[in-house]
Amino acid sequence: MNLDLSPDELAFQSEVRGFLDASLTPELRQAGKRATSVFMDKRFSLAWQKILHARGWAAPSWPVEHGGPGWGVMQRAIFAAECARAGAPGLAPMGLRMVGPVIMGHGTAEQKAHYLPRILSGEDYWCQGYSEPQAGSDLAALALSAVSDGEDYVLSGTKLWTTHAHWANRMFCLVRTQTEGKPQAGITFLLLDMQSSGITVQPIVTLAGEHEVNQVFFDQVRVPKSGRIGAENAGWTVAKYLLEFERGGSSGPGLKVALDGVVAMARAEGLIDDPAFRAKLARAGCALEAVEMTEHRVMAALAAGNNPGPASSMLKTQGTETLQMIDELALEAAGPYAAVDQIEARAPDANLPWVGPEHSLTTSARYLNDRAASIYGGSNEIQRDIMARLVLGL
């Protein structure tokens, strides 16, 4: 496998670096630096998306006909790596990376024309209605009912762990339209307006002290059937298509930046001279290389016109477990400063003093938030089952 960049790819890399250096304001850089999870404060993610959209770079994987740059696999990888290196704030993935590709792949011409431009511009900000109190990793157990009534469905039930539902104006949602037969056979994929009558959003404060997730209640909510993606009771197929994009995203560049940050922390605190800690860094470095090699295999498959398939499960498992390994090393490097709760000082736009070195300001929050990384998007136990069945034939 040749990992060297071609002259054209080096020129593209230089173009991206120049753009990032010129376009990332101090406020956006600080927001990226202070991020404590993969989900960025809406104010900063949308501000950055607006800048990228003006350049035509908001959706690196989208084809030209839908407003994307039409980049190849290597261009997308270079762009992701340079954004990570520059500390750019992340964009909300639910629209650009999840429901956008689903609408392209399964939506009608009218749905594509209406929703895709609004996703690109940030006019529509999306949340994902998948998990329920009794349906997390066992997503087929979902029970939110959608009863047909003329041109509408009437929704009753609840969704749980709904990231950024308190900011979203749109939701893509899995609902139950049939109770007979296999659970997977009665699920429908719907797009809905979060301002609809009967929707209540209740905040859930995480262990990190942050309001990122929510529980959403539906009390006789009417949703037009025009918002259905695919056929009624065929939503499981659409959902699996979406999960390949959720699980198969690029993680190597961000992990490399995170590991480099831990090395810098260890040097600053004198921990780099500890042989035991250096051995842990070496193990994390090996895990990171494995993630990068899996990403390159996925990229090669995509370049050949194939979808991620079960390789996305492998990448999701490797990436999240390596992330948690790096978080644990950061916690060790931060020492006693990791125990100080500084939620106000670490806010992206805060101008407050903090306790200890700045490199430890977000360490605990990152660690706590990333414990969920091996659960959301389908738990890693589920991913291993997928790999066992589809790759090993067990």
The set of catalytic residues is 246
Return the axis-axis angle of helices 26-34 and 42-55, rounded to nearest 10°.
Answer: 130
Work out the widest C-alpha separation in the chain, in whole angstroms. Answer: 70
Which residues 6+ apart lie within 8 Å of 288 measured at CB? 252, 255, 256, 259, 322
Two tokens at 291? 């993630």
Phi, psi of 118 (to 5 degrees): -75, -30
Query: Which residue in 187, 175, 161, 183 sits closest to 222, CA to CA?
Result: 175
Sequence-distant (6+) residues with CB within 8 A of 392 are: none
Q: Which residues pair with 190 in a beta bridge?
A: 173, 228
The residue type at 215: Q
| Strand-pair category, 126-129 with 170-176 | parallel
Beta strands in 46-161 (DSSP E): 126-129, 145-149, 152-159
User: 126 in helix, strand or coil?
Assistant: strand
Q: What are phi and psi of 147, to 5 degrees?
A: -95, 130
- Reduced to 3 states (helix: H, G, I; strand: E, B; else coil), residue 170 is strand
- E strands, 95-141, in order: 126-129
Return the residue matching tokens 């749109």: 170
Smallest CA-to-CA distance from 283 within 262, 305, 264 is with 262
Q: What CA–CA distance (Å, rounded) separates 86 from 55?
A: 17
C-alpha–C-alpha distance, residues 346 and 352, integer Å = 8
